[in-house]
Amino acid sequence: MKFDQKSSDKLFSKAKELIPGGIFGHYKYAVRNEGPKFFSKAKDAYFWDVDGNKFIDLICGWGPMILGYNNPVIDKAAQEQYSLGNTVSVASPVMIELAETLVDTVEIAEWALFGKNGGDSTQLAVMISRQETGKDKVLKIDGGYHGANGWMQREGSPGTIDSDSSEVISIPWNNIEEFDSAISTFENEIACFISSPFHHPTSEDNVLPKKGYWEHIQKVCNEKNIIIIVDDVRTGFRIDLAGSNKAFNFSPDLVCLGKAIANGYPISALVGKNYLKEAANKVYFSGTQFFNSAPMAAAIATINELKNIDATSLMNHHGNDLKNKMISMAKSFDVDLRVTGVPSMPYFRIENDDKELHFKWVDNCLAKGIYMTSYHNHFLSAVHRESEIDLIVSLASKAFEEIIEV
Ligand SMILES: Cc1ncc(COP(=O)(O)O)c(C=O)c1O
């Protein structure tokens, strides 16, 4: 089925004249010839594109919209703070209230610092680790994404230089032997191990930690004075409000938060254990907009609302429902649909020699009105309720009907 996208296409042509690539950064990769490119409005779990097409959104702004678009509770909290002042020459007490909220909420948090994007938190976490340990190297996971700074990008990425990644060691996920081998090869050189709590690479099945993995990492890092940084930027608040590490039974030194922390208002946070407070105090890290108080008020309201409605349980419940219904719906077309990751962040992949079937199905889902991707995990929010799950499954089923003969 084709849908009208004249306005999207027209705007995209104009954008390409003015903006390199038309749409840049991670949004660029989601642009498809046939698909929405610009929104006109959004509400709860839905958005409308500039041509008036309505989409049930399984991407949630790439994570942030954990309580749905235009959530009145969060918007009110932000608006009230905007009306008092947002960027003022001194900080607002709301900053302290947010730090206290995080310390009370996130298990390992004894202090908090703030930035704008997830990449600020991960950058700061590495700097604090280097300051504390006096060591240079960063141990990370192959295909792990931590932001757009030079060292975080794949080696050889356009615009990066060799020295960006010369202190970065990358090992495969869930591989204790490779981890141990890196530790002994670079004895006394590794400042930190940075990883998401589970592996959510692009274009691959998402993989949970195997039994004993994080316990082993924790034991070795503690022995060798290596700081454990959990990058909870994508997973934060969708697995456990107290930190995703809780679900996997380990205790990192630093936790990076971003995306869902303020339901779309621009703020990120780094929280840590007390013994790193002095190092955190010494490292210079800042940005002109870091003290915006309205996003801080939005973050407090978001965390409180997530607690009030027990959002994590809701997302997990509906995520499980979505997973089970999608798998059995696909089975009725004789399709083996793999759903990996955690229920609130499902990654879908059709198991088939012909990869094209997967791409065709996702394109068709989009044409039917589900905003989803073929290469990235999806995000549920607390406003993806039973009716949204049933709508997704019924549209996804129609998408199969057109490409599979039963
Ligand atoms: C796991 C993870 N870490 C860090 C980042 C970087 O966050 P930001 O894009 O807000 O800088 C992302 C963004 O997708 C992410 O998924």
Residue 114 CA to ligand 1 centre (angstroms): 15
**Ligand 1 binding pocket includes 381 (Cβ within 6 Å):** no
Residue 389 CA to ligand 1 centre (angstroms): 26
- What average pLDDT score do residues 54-76 get? 98
Give the residue carrying structure tokens 């060591």: 135
pLDDT band at 406, cuts 50/70/90?
low
Average pLDDT, the chain: 97
- What average pLDDT score do residues 89-114 get? 98
Pocket test for ligand 1, best of 259, 270, 289 (most atoms within 8 A of CB): 259
Evaluate if residue 2 carries a pLDDT over 90: no
Question: Which one is the CATH code of 72-308: 3.40.1390.10, 1.10.3720.10, 3.40.50.80, 3.40.640.10?
Answer: 3.40.640.10
Q: pLDDT for 5-34, tens place per residue?
A: 999 999 999 999 999 999 999 999 888 888
Query: Which of 183, 177, 217 has the alpha carbon at shortest distance from 197?
Result: 217
Cα angle at 103 between 100 and 108, to 5 degrees? 170
Quick one: which atom of ligand 1 is closest to the CA of 147?
Answer: 6
- What average pLDDT score do residues 340-347 get? 98
Do 232 and 197 form a contact (C-beta atoms < 8 A)? yes
Q: Which two tokens stand for residue 328?
A: 């059995």
Q: How far apart are CA 129 and CA 270, in angstroms?
A: 12
| Per-domain boundaries in the chain | 1-37, 72-308
Pocket test for ligand 1, best of 145, 151, 245 (most atoms within 8 A of CB): 145
Do 59 and 27 form a contact (C-beta atoms < 8 A)? no
Residue 26 CA to ligand 1 centre (angstroms): 10
Instruction: Provide the percentage of residues in the chain whose pLDDT is more than 90.
Output: 95
pLDDT of residue 33: 85
Q: Whose CA is nearest to atom 4 of ligand 1?
A: 146
Quick one: which atom of ligand 1 is closest to the CA of 258?
Answer: 10
CA 312 to chain centre: 15
- What average pLDDT score do residues 326-332 get? 98
Residue 340 CA to ligand 1 centre (angstroms): 20
**Ligand 1 binding pocket includes 149 (Cβ within 6 Å):** no
Do 255 and 234 form a contact (C-beta atoms < 8 A)? no
